[in-house]
Amino acid sequence: MTERPTPETLDRFARIVGEKNAIRDEAEMGPYLTEWRERYRGRTPMVLKPGSTEEVAAILKLASETRTAVVPQGGNTGLVGGQIPFGEEIVLALSRLNRICEVDLGGNTMTVEAGVTLSSAQAAAESAGRLFPLSLASEGSCQIGGNLATNAGGVQVLAYGNARDLTLGLEVVLASGEVWNGLKALRKDNTGYDLKNLFIGSEGTLGVITAATLKLFPQPKEVATAFAGLATLEDAARLFNLAREAAGPALTLFELMPRIGVEMVVNHMGGRDPLSEPHPWYALIDLSAHQEGIATDMLAQIIGRGVGEGFVADAAMPTSLAQAQTLRHLREAMSEAQKFEGGSIKHDVSVPVAAVPAFIAAASAAVERLIPGARTVPFGHFGDGNIHFNVTQPAGADKAAFLARWEEVSEAVHDIVAEMGGSISAEHGVGRMKREEIARRKSPVEMTLMRQIKAALDPRGILNPGKLL
C-alpha cells in the first residue's frame, strides 16, 4: 500500500529537482491534471519536473523508501486517463528530458531522451536525411516516453509497425531507483528475455522510461496521396486489398473516414469537401517510393482500376504538398471535430482486417438499438483493422444523459469485438478507463501473469497504481 507523502517528504522530493521544478501551486498544476477528453480531473500534492535520469532515479528511490505513489507523465495526450493522478500520487513530468542524444546515420538509429516530443524526434530525423515514421495527430505534444509507454500506433503502422517495432533499446528507471541501461542499437539480440518489451506498453506501471534508441528509415523520395469516395465498406475493403497487392510495402497509409465525420470537420474545423458529390465513405491513401515518379503512377493506376471496376465512386489526387495536407487535415481533425456536436462515446478497437466491414455494420446496428438517432462516426486505421468507433449523441439530445450510457454502449460494442476475436484497446492502452474491463475480458491465466510481472518489478506498488491492473 502507498502512503500520502508528508510535508517533509514533499520537501525532500523538491530538493532533488530544485524548488522551481517542484510545482505545488494549484493553478500551475492545472495543465497536468486535466486531459484532452475532459473525462478525468486529477488531484496531486506535487508535480516534479526532473532534468536528468539521475534525478528520476533519486525521486523513485525516495518514493520507494516513503511508499509514495508516482504517476509518470509525458505530453498528457493519453486518452484513457493513465497519466492523471487521483489524489495522493505525485506527478513525474518528463518534459525537461528533451535532448536528442545521438543520430547514427551508419546504423540508422537515433537515441533521444523520453521528454522529446514526437514532432521534434521526427524533425531531428528529417534534418539528418532520415525518416522516423511514427505519426499521430497528437505528435506536436506527445513525447517519446509516452509513445513507448503506450506502444502508440498512428497512421503508418501499416508499413512501419507501432512504437514497439520502432524501438531497439531503452533506458529505464526501476521502482527501486536503480537504472537499467538497455540503450542498445542491435537489430538482433537473443540473449534471454527481451526486457525492453516489458516496459513498452506498460503505461508507467513497471518503470519510468528515460531514453530510447529508435530505428530510422530512408526518407521516401516521393509520397503520392489519394482521397477516394466509396459507396460501401466492402468497396473500402476491395480498394485496400488492391492497393496492398499492387503496391506492397509502398502502401504507407490507408485511413477510413465516414461522410458524417468529414462533414463535422468541414463544418467546425475548416477545410472543404474535396469531391464534388458526397459519398458514404472515404479512404485516404498514401504510397511512398524511393524513386521519383513511381508512387504517383502506381496510385493513379490503382484508383483508375477501382473506378473502372466500379468500387471507387470518385477520387482526388493532390498535385502539391499543400493540397495533400488539406486532405490529411480532414482525417487528423476528425476526433476533435466531434466535440462540437455534443457528447461522444469513444472506442478504440481492432478486429482482423477482413472483418472491419462486418464489425462496423454490427456495432452500428447495436448502437441504433440502444440509442435510436445516435450518430456513429467510425474512422481510422482501416489497414490495421483498428477503428475508432465513436458514437456522437443524437442531435439536440442531453449531453450528460447520453454520456451516462457510456458503459452500456461500450459493453455492446466490445461484445461484438470479442466475438470477432478483436481487442478493446488497439492503440490507446488501458489506463484508468478500461482497467476493470480487461480484468473481465482477459483470461485468468493472462491476468495472473500480468500481476506477477507487476509484483516482481514494483513490489511496493508505487508506479502508477490503479492503472492498467
Question: Residues 20-39 vs ligand FAD: string with x where CB under 6 A?
Answer: ----------------x---
Instruction: For residue 344, state whether it binds ligand FAD (rule: CB under 6 A).
Output: no
Question: Could you tell me which of 431, 14, 34, 440 has the C-alpha nearest to residue 202?
Answer: 431
Q: Is 72 a residue that touches ligand FAD (CB under 6 A)?
A: yes
DSSP strand E in 385-445: where? Answer: 386-392
CB of 319 to ligand FAD, least distance (A): 27
Q: Which span sits near ligand FAD by CB under 6 A: 119-127, 138-146, 228-236, 357-365?
A: 138-146
Q: Is 133 in the site for ligand FAD (CB under 6 A)?
A: no
Minimum separation from the CB atom of position 207 to ligand FAD (A): 7
Nearest to 61 by CA among 93, 23, 13: 13
Separation between Cα atoms, residue 271 and residue 450, nearest integer Å: 45
Q: Which stretch binds ligand FAD (CB under 6 A): 15-23, 68-76, 339-347, 360-368?
A: 68-76
Cα–Cα distance, 386 to 357 (Å, whole number): 12
**Residue 94 in contact with ligand FAD, rule: CB under 6 A:** yes
Q: Between 414 and 443, how does the x/- string for binding to ligand FAD read (CB under 6 A)?
A: -------------xx--x------------
**Kind plus residue range of the DSSP H or E element containing 186:** none
213 near ligand FAD, rule: CB under 6 A: no
Angle of the 259-269 helix axis to the 321-332 helix axis, nearest 10: 110
Give the strand pairing for 70-73 and 90-93: parallel
- The cell for 305 is 482500376
Helix H or strand E segment including 27: helix 26-33
Exactly one of 83, 122, 156, 392 binds ligand FAD (CB under 6 A); that residue is: 83
CA distance 442 to 354: 23
| Nearest approach, Cβ of residue 391 and ligand FAD (Å) | 18
Nearer to ligand FAD, 204 or 261 (CB): 204
Shortest approach of ligand FAD to residue 343 CB, angstroms? 17
CB of 137 to ligand FAD, least distance (A): 4
Positions 140 through 199 that interact with ligand FAD (CB under 6 A): 142-143, 145-147, 149-150, 152-154
Rounded to an integer, what distance in angstroms lies between the CA atom of residue 21 and that of residue 376? Answer: 44
Which of 45, 82, 357, 422 touches ligand FAD (CB under 6 A)?
A: 82
CA distance 142 to 250: 27
DSSP label at residue 117? B
Nearer to ligand FAD by Cβ, of 152 and 265: the residue is 152
CA distance 426 to 392: 20
Does 338 help bind ligand FAD (rule: CB under 6 A)?
no
Q: Which residues of 9-41 are buried (b: 16+ CB within 10 A; e: fewer)?
A: bbebbbebbeeebbbeeeeebeebbebeeebbe
Question: Does residue 79 touch ligand FAD according to CB under 6 A?
Answer: yes
Task: Please count the residues of this chain forming the interface with ligand FAD, following the rule CB under 6 A.
Answer: 37
Considering only CA atoms, give the Rg of the chain.
23
Q: Which residues bind ligand FAD (CB under 6 A)?
A: 36, 71-79, 82-83, 94, 114, 136-138, 142-143, 145-147, 149-150, 152-154, 203-204, 208-209, 335, 427-428, 431, 464, 467
